[in-house]
């Protein structure tokens, strides 16, 4: 006899409604969808009295059996083992794992549709048919069976089954970061599943990470602690990474690939492990056909990496990897770049090179066809010089995904236009929260605010970039928060996009530290994001790619002493963080996720700011004060070293080698030189002036605005920002005390046009003057009236200036309106006259009237 669903509710988001309603109609049990509980995640309750509407996983020291067929995919069976271990971690009770439904007692029946005989034996075809043909979907429901209950956990495929089980683990208190960030497992006497739910397809089909620039963390740690016999990153390291990805509902990995790192496929066990864990393998934007060029291409033996002169050898090289790995689930990078993240090695114009890459892709697709993998997903990444070839007409087959990228600092360079969105291959996104390169690395601390990620990634989703999202996480640690946010957004963009940065952080911190610590931790991290957006710790040297560090631009001679103000806000944040009273069990995770990122960034700031203070004191002839300031700068440098040593000694040395205080030996991590001479010229960014010659306002603080604007409260160098949307306009009131030639500065998020059909136009009006058309695009090329990209990404804003001759003293109204281009975000607006003092990052906001 077929049994009905006991209850079906608890949707991860509204997009599941169609599936739920279909299942319920099949069963003849339709309720208004508004009555269903729409939440993200499994419906799990702990330590509650027994009720008939719940299924007890563990109660009274007893556990329900876990049933899974040996015929089920290995990924699903691995997840069952993890789930059994998780139940024991939480309750102390280890459930029995069996391969058939026991004769009596409650049981959890776990299976993948069309793979599980034990699932089929329950005769729940109507319920299971709704999963058939779906991607990574699942359902959890109760089936009464005589005097007992069976809880069914069913997946549409191997990952769908695993995600449902591990989602229950996460809901009952096992953070995905229990191993990678030492988050304690929450202990409970009982764990029950309340009601049921369905999980429909993810909003982004493929979601994963790229392990990159691993030379100063992941690789030395793995060589010492995980795979010492290889003295490198190997299977034990990757197995922990695969487990983390599965727990985060990710499904794809680009493996570590820097020179010195063992090529992923140099150890055959790696690819086999990826398949066991259900992880789709790819390779970076510069590594076509699953090849790790720096570890596998030998120019002495194979010849030049130039397709114009060495096509047969390169084709053979690619063919061999497909013959070896083609049977696994892969997402192939196609096209061609240099051996290691460099431009295409070929001669001729851009047009000639575009035709060459077209021929490369044709050959690669022929290789895939030859081995029976023509339907495998493929992507061509429009990264760095590749996008220039695309812009001169490079043709990419319609079944190949277009891979769009950010500028390495979190601002997406381009997205598909209306025509490109029609392509069968869809679009992908490669995004960075860690980067090695021009104009400066940011490899040490993960300081990209979630508010910026949300602004950019939701735009990508709206532009139908939904086939693949890959996040460059560097060494993986300390990018935990950004990585989890990225993957949650990729899994369910409509739901997660509704959460503010503050709401997400509090929810995430509650999962790691519990209810009492959630808001304090979230507030601390949010404040660190705000301060680091003004200047990342890696950029505090105010230097370029390879030159020596400079004095900072925080002006100690004006605006109430910007140097002291910056130190005070960091000091206040550290005092708040250190005042948090923690149980011993939380201290390692707190150190990794909150303390080290905050205290490390604060000390890096203090090192440079006290060095500045020492130089200023010496310049003013205050030798004793200069010596004291220099000593404090040295102490801040030492603090970074001590904090890093503490990180690497956590949990008995578990993370030895993972954290570096000086990744890539950049000058910014050194102790800056401090001149004690009184004749040294001070930087031009330090200067006095008449502060009344400037009137400024934060972009979010418009005195009036139309409905076509959106306030971004957690993003901007001076606080929030305002985004102009269709029909939107904002009006700012600024008061100036002088009369004369003035300059209007409009500071914008340093973004790019959303696609090739748009620029970044907006219009400005001052008082009752004519509307002036402005365009903030083209920042990668020096041009009058707008700051350059490299300056913008280091300081967090692009500035456009407008000359206003013979401006009169008094109140002025600046109006800014939408002009047909989305993506214009106003961070700050200021009016100034000659003689105003320099300010960093922008002049402070005056009282609003």
Q: Which of 119-123, 132-136, 173-177 has the lowest mean pLDDT?
A: 119-123
Over residues 322-347, mean pLDDT: 95
Instruction: Find out whether 825 and 722 touch, Cβ atoms under 8 Å.
Output: yes
Residue 563 has a pLDDT of 98
Domain endpoint, select from 199, 234, 261: 199
| CA distances in angstroms from 61 to 56, 58, 64, 693, listed in the order given | 11, 7, 10, 73
Burial class (CB in 10 A: 0-12, 13-18, 19+), 557: middle
Q: Mind listing the pLDDT tens digit for each residue in 3-56?
A: 222 222 222 333 333 443 343 333 332 222 222 223 345 899 999 999 988 999
Nearest Cα residue to 281 out of 307, 261, 260, 252: 252
Is 7 a member of any domain? no
Q: Which residues of 390-415 are buried (b: 16+ CB within 10 A; e: fewer)?
A: beeebebeeebbbbbbbbbbbbbbbb
Instruction: Indicate if the alpha-carbon torsion angle 494, 207, 713, 414 is positive or negative.
Output: negative
Q: Mind listing the pLDDT tens digit for each residue in 579-628?
A: 999 999 999 999 999 999 999 999 999 999 999 999 999 999 999 999 99
CATH of the domain at 705: 2.60.120.1620
Over residues 802-814, mean pLDDT: 97
Query: With bands split at pLDDT 50, 70 and 90, how would you rate the model's confidence at 847?
Result: low
Instruction: Please tell me whether residues 122 and 265 are part of one structural domain.
Output: no
Q: Which domain holds residue 102?
A: 14-199
Instruction: Please tell me whether residues 294 and 315 are part of one structural domain.
Output: yes
The residues pairing with 696 across neighbouring beta strands, listed in sequence order, are 830
CATH of the domain at 579: 1.20.58
Over residues 358-380, mean pLDDT: 98
Residue 527 has pLDDT above 50, yes or no: yes
Over residues 202-228, mean pLDDT: 98
Q: Mind listing the pLDDT tens digit for each residue in 269-325?
A: 999 999 999 999 999 998 999 999 999 999 999 999 999 999 999 999 999 999 999
For residue 80, the tally of other CB atoms under 10 A from its CB is 22
For residue 362, the tally of other CB atoms under 10 A from its CB is 11
Residue 783 has a pLDDT of 73
Nearest Cα residue to 5 out of 379, 19, 593, 377: 19
- Mean pLDDT estimate for the chain: 93
Residue 210 has pLDDT above 70, yes or no: yes
Is 30 a member of any domain? yes
Residue 537 has pLDDT above 80, yes or no: yes
Q: Mind listing the pLDDT tens digit for each residue in 624-656?
A: 999 999 999 999 999 999 999 999 999 999 999
Instruction: Find out whether 245 and 251 touch, Cβ atoms under 8 Å.
Output: yes
Domains in the chain: how many in total?
A: 4
Instruction: Please tell me whether residues 259 and 191 are part of one structural domain.
Output: no
Provide the percentage of residues in the chain whose pLDDT is more than 70: 95
Cα separation, 86 vs 94, whole angstroms:
9
Residue 36 has a pLDDT of 25
Is 652 a member of any domain? yes
Domain endpoint, select from 500, 531, 562: 500
CATH of the domain at 133: 3.30.379.10
Residue 164 has pLDDT above 70, yes or no: yes
Residue 22 has a pLDDT of 41
Over residues 529-534, mean pLDDT: 98
Instruction: Please tell me whether residues 784 and 651 are part of one structural domain.
Output: no
Instruction: Please tell me whether residues 767 and 699 are part of one structural domain.
Output: yes
Over residues 139-161, mean pLDDT: 93
Instruction: Please tell me whether residues 80 and 24 are part of one structural domain.
Output: yes
Query: With bands split at pLDDT 50, 70 and 90, how would you rate the model's confidence at 546?
Result: confident
For residue 791, the tally of other CB atoms under 10 A from its CB is 14
Q: Which residues of 184-206 are buried (b: 16+ CB within 10 A; e: fewer)?
A: bbeebebbbbbbbbbbbbbbbbb
CATH of the domain at 388: 3.20.20.520
Domain endpoint, select from 611, 637, 669: 669
Cα separation, 74 vs 364, whole angstroms:
31
Residue 470 has pLDDT above 80, yes or no: yes
Residue 41 has a pLDDT of 59
Residue 27 has a pLDDT of 31
Cα separation, 763 vs 826, whole angstroms:
12
Over residues 510-536, mean pLDDT: 98
Is 677 a member of any domain? no
Is 778 a member of any domain? yes
Instruction: Please tell me whether residues 622 and 730 are part of one structural domain.
Output: no
Q: Which of 138-152, 368-382, 406-420, 665-679 has the lowest mean pLDDT?
A: 138-152
Cα separation, 348 vs 719, whole angstroms:
48
Residue 384 has pLDDT above 50, yes or no: yes
Is 2 a member of any domain? no
Query: With bands split at pLDDT 50, 70 and 90, how would you rate the model's confidence at 147?
Result: confident
Is 674 a member of any domain? no
Is 843 a member of any domain? no
Instruction: Please tell me whether residues 639 and 762 are part of one structural domain.
Output: no
Instruction: Please tell me whether residues 168 and 184 are part of one structural domain.
Output: yes
Residue 125 has a pLDDT of 87
Instruction: Please tell me whether residues 736 and 607 are part of one structural domain.
Output: no
Instruction: Please tell me whether residues 163 and 273 are part of one structural domain.
Output: no
Residue 516 has pLDDT above 90, yes or no: yes
What are the helix (H) ranges across 419-500? 450-462, 480-491, 493-496
Instruction: Please tell me whether residues 123 and 214 are part of one structural domain.
Output: no
Instruction: Find out whether 640 and 604 touch, Cβ atoms under 8 Å.
Output: yes
Provide the percentage of residues in the chain whose pLDDT is more than 90: 89
């Amino acid at each position: 006899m077929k049994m009905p669903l006991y209850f079906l509710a608890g949707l991860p988001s509204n997009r599941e409604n169609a599936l739920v309603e279909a299942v319920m109609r099949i069963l003849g049990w339709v309720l208004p969808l508004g009555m269903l509980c729409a939440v993200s995640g499994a419906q799990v309750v702990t330590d509650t009295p027994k009720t008939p509407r719940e299924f007890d996983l563990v109660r009274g020291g007893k556990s329900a059996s876990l049933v899974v067929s040996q015929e089920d995919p290995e990924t699903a069976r691995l997840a069952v083992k993890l789930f059994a271990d998780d139940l024991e971690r939480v309750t102390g009770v280890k459930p029995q794992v069996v391969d058939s439904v026991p004769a009596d007692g409650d049981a959890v029946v776990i299976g993948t549709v069309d793979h599980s005989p034990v699932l089929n034996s329950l005769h729940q075809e109507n319920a299971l048919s709704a999963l058939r043909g779906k991607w990574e979907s699942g359902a959890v429901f109760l089936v009464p069976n005589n005097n007992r209950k069976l809880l069914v956990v069913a997946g549409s495929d191997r990952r769908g089954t695993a995600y449902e089980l591990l989602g229950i683990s996460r809901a009952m208190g096992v953070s995905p970061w229990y191993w990678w960030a030492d988050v304690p497992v929450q202990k409970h006497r009982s764990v029950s599943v309340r009601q049921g739910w369905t999980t429909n397809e993810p909003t982004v089909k493929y979601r994963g990470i790229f392990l990159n620039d691993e030379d100063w963390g992941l690789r030395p740690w793995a060589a010492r602690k995980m795979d010492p016999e290889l003295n490198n990153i190997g299977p034990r390291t990757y197995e922990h990474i695969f487990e983390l990805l599965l727990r985060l509902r990710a499904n794809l990995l680009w493996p570590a690939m820097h020179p010195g790192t063992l090529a992923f496929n140099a150890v055959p066990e790696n690819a086999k492990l990826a398949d066991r864990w259900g992880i789709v393998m790819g390779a970076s934007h510069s590594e076509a056909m699953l090849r790790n060029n720096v570890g596998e291409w030998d120019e002495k033996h194979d010849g030049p990496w130039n397709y114009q002169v060495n096509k047969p050898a390169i084709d053979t090289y690619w063919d061999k990897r497909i013959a070896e790995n083609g049977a696994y689930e892969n997402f192939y990078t196609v096209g061609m770049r240099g051996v290691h993240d460099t431009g295409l090695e070929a001669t001729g114009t851009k047009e000639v090179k575009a035709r060459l890459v077209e021929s490369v892709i044709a050959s690669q697709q022929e290789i895939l066809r030859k081995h029976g993998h023509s339907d495998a997903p493929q992507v061509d990444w429009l990264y760095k010089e590749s996008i220039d070839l695309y812009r001169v007409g490079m043709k990419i087959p319609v079944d190949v995904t277009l891979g769009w990228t950010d500028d390495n600092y979190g601002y997406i360079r381009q997205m598909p236009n209306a025509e490109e969105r029609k392509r069968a291959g869809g679009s992908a996104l490669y995004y960075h929260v860690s980067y090695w390169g021009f104009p400066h690395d940011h490899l040490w601390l993960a300081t990209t605010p979630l508010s910026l990620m949300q602004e950019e990634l939701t735009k990508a989703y709206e532009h139908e970039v939904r086939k693949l999202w890959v996040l460059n996480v560097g060494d993986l640690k300390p990018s935990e928060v950004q990585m989890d946010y990225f993957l949650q957004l990729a899994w369910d963009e409509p739901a997660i996009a509704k959460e503010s940065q503050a709401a997400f952080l509090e929810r995430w911190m509650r999962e790691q530290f519990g209810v009492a610590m959630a808001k304090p931790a979230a507030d601390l991290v949010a404040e660190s994001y705000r301060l680091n957006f003004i200047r990342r710790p890696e950029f505090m040297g105010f230097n370029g790619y390879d030159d020596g560090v400079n004095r900072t631009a925080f002006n100690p001679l004006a605006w109430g002493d910007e140097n002291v103000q910056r130190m005070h806000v960091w000091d206040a944040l550290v005092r708040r963080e250190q005042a948090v009273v923690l149980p011993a069990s939380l201290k390692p995770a707190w150190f990794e996720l909150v303390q080290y990122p905050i205290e490390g960034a604060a000390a890096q700031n203090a090192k440079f700011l006290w060095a500045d203070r020492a130089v200023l004191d010496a310049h003013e002839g205050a030798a004793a004060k200069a010596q004291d300031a220099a000593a404090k700068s040295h102490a801040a440098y030492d603090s970074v070293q001590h904090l890093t040593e503490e990180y690497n000694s956590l949990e008995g040395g578990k993370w030895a080698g993972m954290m570096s205080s000086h990744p890539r030996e950049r000058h910014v991590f050194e102790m800056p030189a401090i001149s004690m001479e009184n004749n040294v010229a001070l930087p031009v960014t330090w200067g006095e002036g008449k502060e009344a010659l400037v009137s400024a306002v934060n972009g979010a603080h418009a005195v009036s605005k139309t409905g076509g604007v959106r306030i971004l409260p957690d993003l901007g160098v001076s606080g929030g920002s305002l985004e102009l949307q269709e029909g939107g306009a904002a009006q700012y009131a600024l008061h100036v005390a002088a009369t004369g030639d003035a300059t209007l500065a409009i500071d914008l998020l340093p973004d790019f046009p959303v696609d090739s059909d748009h620029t970044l136009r907006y219009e400005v009006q001052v008082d009752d003057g004519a509307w002036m058309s402005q365009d903030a695009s083209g920042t990668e090329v020096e041009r009058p009236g707008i700051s350059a990209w490299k300056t913008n990404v280091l300081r967090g804003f692009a500035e456009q200036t407008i000359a206003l001759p013979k401006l009169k003293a008094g109140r002025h109204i600046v109006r800014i309106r939408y002009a047909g281009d989305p993506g214009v975000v106003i961070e700050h607006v200021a009016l100034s006259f000659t003689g105003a003092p320099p300010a960093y990052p922008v002049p402070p906001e005056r009282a609003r009237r």
